[in-house]
Structure 1
Amino acid sequence: MSRPAMIGSAPDSWGVWFPDDSRQTPWQRFLDEVAAAGYTRIELGPYGYLPTDPARLRDELDKRGLTVTAGTIFEHLHRADSWDTTWQDVSAAATLTAVMGARHLVVIPDFWRDPQTGKVLEDAHLTDEQWVAYAGQMNRLARRIRESFGLQIQFHPHADTHVDTHENVERFLDETDPDLVSLCLDTGHISYCGGDNLKLIGDHPERIGYVHLKQVDPAVVAAVHEQGIGFGEAVRMGAMCEPPAGIPDMPPILDALANLDAEIFAIVEQDMYPCPADRPLPIARRTLTYLQSCGPLR
């Protein structure tokens, strides 16, 4: 069954990575500009960036004709004795997400390399035993999030984490329960790590539950990998670029998503932390216009 992807945007496209940072776009400006750019759906971004009081947040969104598609939170369940600290963070984000009427929680693994300094924090690879334990914890998290909040977790492979390359994404999918864990396919991160977005969609259509649309500059990414540069510096170098200047090619991705037997939120993201205050809005407008010219969106 062919269905259009439902398009939205996120604070990430306004240079927002943290709940509070003086170099980031103020949340009021983000909401004003994402609406002005033509979007009607957003993610919450880092928990605490947007107001966490549901009544206030709902009022701010209603004034601008915006609705929430998902919350976003990092986890570190690959580490021993990490359940309690992970649950504290995840449950707070899930509470607000559910109250705002969204159905998805995007869950991102923590970094093995500091995203700001590039410092290696731990081994870049999990052992076989760690993979099994991690998958078990992820299944546990997904089950509890569903039972407690009625949300579906959408696991987000990410550069400089343990679930990054095509091989590691495949292993993660093999190790986790398909009835519990779906994938947030971030087209930029998959390409950044050398993966094949179309193959993942074709091989695992039932696991694609949510999408982040972005592109990468292949020349910058090649230099980043050759020099062993961390993700934060790669972003500052322009690794994540404005469509249609990079890869992957968007029309085939949108066509493949339209043919999935599911309603898919496709959220536009362009990592560019930090960025000048006047840069995001023109990019957001151009990106939406471009994507609407590529395939079935609403």
Structure 2
Amino acid sequence: MTDIRWGYALNQWKPQFDDFVRREQHERALKTISIAGFEGVELTAGTGRWEPLGNPQQIDANFGSPEGFREFLAGCGVDAVSSFVFDPQQRSSEHLTGPLSPLAAADASAIVDKAAWFADALARLGGTVLVVRPAPSAGDIEPLDDGELDRLAACWQAVGRATSERGVRTALHVNFLSALRRDDALDRLLDRTDPDIVGLALDTAEDTVAGIDPIRTIERHGDRIRHVQFKDALAIDEANEYLQPHAQYAVLQRGGTREIPRWFAEPGADDGLVDFPAITRALLAARYSGWIVVESDQSPHPAASTLLAGYLVQRELRPIIDTFVRTPTSRSAS
């Protein structure tokens, strides 16, 4: 039986590091998410006092414990934290560590420890998935060879085992800048990992910007998808600018040579390139069960984006799922 739950990502409310730090701001955002029809919230890992929701230590400092934070969520009409997005290349003031690389064997144990730290808290917050950035950006390293893919696989296998022990899945999130976009690197990495331990996070906008039809990803890797992020794309990286050094800033943030003002938007945005009803049907055909987290990624109007996305989910996407579940042939197939 298909069991899909809907969540929303908080990242769009924090365009600058010192924004979105007050509890009343969090309360307003969470209540907006709730009234838009979402039952869970996705958090992005961060460090320091400017990230009060960014990691277990900061959650303890601001809410007493994960259980205290979950009570706060319930008071805003949100049931759970669906997922945490974890990038090991971010520094951590809580651990006094700089960027860690999954390509460096010496960093693997520290990455596993941090992943387990997040997974412990996530399980207490009702969540099920740790979404991880599996590799550096393509423009910052040479194409991945077999030895490097072996190291990536060993790192994420170890992470997957650690999170599984805590009831949390690990899902690789490949953004459009990722080194895993080159050649068949993602397929080669998935071939090196256990599907029961290391899954894939489908991001509809990242695929689309990369020139990949998300439905193709579902058809190729449907049995590995453990998490889904729905956001729209407003442009495609047709010139392969992801291969530029420091593309995180020159391409993603500054828009590249075309000066794209915004790569991403909420589902259903004007001029959006993603066909969400078709992708929803493809996920159902692949028997996907789990969270679908909607996001807008730095929307200039976060509350409006949330409500617009909620309208699309309630009026178009949920009915597709309900029809699928009610259809006898669909039930027997699943």
Shorter-chain TM-score: which interval? 0.7 to 0.9
CA 1:102–1:166 in 2, change beyond 3 Å: closer, same or farther?
farther
> Which of 63, 79, 82 matches 2:75?
63
1:58-207 to 2 correspondence within 5 Å?
Answer: 58-66=70-78, 67-75=80-88, 76-109=101-134, 111-112=136-137, 122-147=140-165, 149-164=166-181, 167-207=184-224
Please give the root-mean-square deviation of Cα atoms over the aligned residues, in Å: 2.8
Counterpart in 2 of 1:257? Answer: 283
1:11-90 to 2 correspondence within 5 Å?
Answer: 11-15=10-14, 21-24=17-20, 26-47=25-46, 48-50=51-53, 51-52=59-60, 53-66=65-78, 67-75=80-88, 76-90=101-115
Q: What is the TM-score with the length of structure 1 in the denominator? A: 0.83
1:107 offset after TM fit, Å? Answer: 1.4
1:182 offset after TM fit, Å? Answer: 0.9
1:269 aligns with 2:295: yes
**Partner deviation per Cα, 1:83-123 (whole Å, 9 max, x = no partner):** 1331343222112101112222111235437xxxxxx6x31
1:30 offset after TM fit, Å? Answer: 2.6
**Partner deviation per Cα, 1:13-46 (whole Å, 9 max, x = no partner):** 3346x8xx21347433332332243322111322
Q: Distance in 2 between matches of 1:282 and 1:232?
A: 22
Counterpart in 1 of 2:255? Answer: 234
Q: Could you tell me which amino acid in structure 2 is paired with residue 79 of structure 1? A: A
Q: Could you tell me which amino acid in structure 2 is paired with residue 209 of structure 1? A: R
Q: Distance in 1 between matches of 2:87 and 2:20?
A: 19
User: Larger deviation: 179-188 or 255-264?
Assistant: 255-264
**Partner deviation per Cα, 1:257-278 (whole Å, 9 max, x = no partner):** 1223342211001212xx55xx
How many residue pairs get aligned? The number is 281
| Conserved 8 A contact 2:6-2:294 | yes
**Partner deviation per Cα, 1:129-156 (whole Å, 9 max, x = no partner):** 1011211221121112212x12111111
| Conserved 8 A contact 2:36-2:311 | no
1:213 aligns with 2:239: no
Instruction: Give percent identity, aligned residues only.
Output: 23
| Conserved 8 A contact 1:254-1:294 | no
CA 1:159–1:24 in 2, change beyond 3 Å: closer, same or farther?
farther
Counterpart in 2 of 1:116? Answer: none
Counterpart in 1 of 2:331? Answer: none
Secondary structure at 2:87's aligned position in 1? strand
| Conserved 8 A contact 1:211-1:266 | yes
| Conserved 8 A contact 2:176-2:242 | no
Counterpart in 1 of 2:330? Answer: none
Q: Distance in 2 between matches of 1:261 and 1:213?
A: 17
Q: Distance in 1 between matches of 2:266 and 2:163?
A: 34
1:213 offset after TM fit, Å? Answer: 0.5
Q: Distance in 2 between matches of 1:193 and 1:159?
A: 5
Counterpart in 2 of 1:117? Answer: none
CA 1:255–1:65 in 2, change beyond 3 Å: closer, same or farther?
same
Task: Pick 1 or 2: higher relative contact order, CA cutoff 8 A, min separation 6.
Answer: 1
Q: Could you tell me which amino acid in structure 2 is paired with residue 44 of structure 1? A: L
- Could you list the structure 1 runs, at least 4 aligned residues long, displaced by more than 6 angstroms after superposition: none
Runs of at least 5 residues in structure 1 that lack an aligned partner in the other structure: 114-119
**Partner deviation per Cα, 1:200-235 (whole Å, 9 max, x = no partner):** 21122211111000111126x447839954323339
Higher alpha-carbon Rg? 2
CA 1:204–1:101 in 2, change beyond 3 Å: closer, same or farther?
same
| Conserved 8 A contact 2:141-2:179 | no
